[in-house]
Amino acid sequence: MATQSRLKGKRIAALVTDGFEQVELTSPREALKTQGAEVSIVSPKRDKVRGWNHDQPADSFDVDVPITEAVASDFDGLLLPGGVQNPDHLRTDAFVQKFVKDFFLQHKPVAAICHGPWTLIDAGVVKGRRMTSYHSVRTDLKNAGAEWVDEQVVVDNGLVTSRNPSDLEAFNAKIVEEYAEGLHEAQHA
């Protein structure tokens, strides 16, 4: 399959720490790279992060940009893979919260899958949004003011959410579309 260039020149930040669901990083990253995007792993960890396959440790990945050096204006979009441990650790980091919120303040597309929306809750950016997530995150999103729906992929003014790895095909197609569109002026933080 020939590489497309729909996302040529676009830089996407994949924000993770240890314990992310590996396929929720690798599958979207491959879809984005196939379309010409550069995907950088941003993390509170400085050297490497380890993915998980459900409840088992998986592969390690190099960190491209430590969160303390990451600036949202250097990127065109944000990707938040899930896994339980990953967003549970990310959501309590003040640098992560600022980095995430800055994407919304700059009207840039953001994508979160599975437990990834937990990080969005603590960044204070879900109130009034229509979203989906892994079913166990539903109540947290509702309590934070989001309208939770049980759908494969949901888009709300540049925010793309999906439920779990079985939704990756639809999620990947939609994030390519949203990152290609770029800024979303109606987005609010």
pLDDT in tens, 22-40: 999 999 999 999 999 999 9
23 CB-near residues (< 8 Å, 6+ apart):
53, 165, 168
At 45, the pLDDT band (50, 70, 90 cuts) reads very high
Is residue 114 flagged as an active site residue? yes
Counted domains in the chain: 1
2 domain residue, yes or no: no
Assigned domain for 123 exists:
yes
On whether residue 132 sits in a domain, the answer given is yes
How many angstroms separate the most distant Cα atoms in the chain?
A: 45
- CA angle, 41 then 38 then 23, to 5°: 55
pLDDT value at residue 5: 86
- 4 part of a folded domain: no
Domain that holds residue 132: 11-181
Residues in the chain, total: 189
Q: How far apart are CA 56 and CA 61, in angstroms?
A: 16
| Distance of alpha carbon 31 from alpha carbon 178, whole angstroms | 13
- The one catalytic residue among 54, 89, 107, 114: 114
Q: Which of 89, 107, 115, 135 is catalytic?
A: 115
CA 59, CA 189: separation in Å to the nearest integer?
Answer: 34
Helix (H, G, I), strand (E, B) or coil at 65: strand
Residue 89 lies in a domain: yes
Q: Token digits for 146? A: 């989001």
What does the pLDDT look like over 116-127, one tens digit per residue? 999 999 999 999
Is the pTM above the cut of 0.85? yes
Coil, strand or helix at 127: coil
109 domain-assigned: yes
| CATH number of the structural domain spanning residue 165 | 3.40.50.880
69-105 tens-digit pLDDT: 999 999 999 999 999 999 999 999 999 999 999 999 9
Judge whether 5 lies within some domain. no
Express the helix, strand and coil content of the chain in percent, nearest 5 each: 35, 25, 40
Q: Would you say residue 2 has pLDDT above 50?
A: no
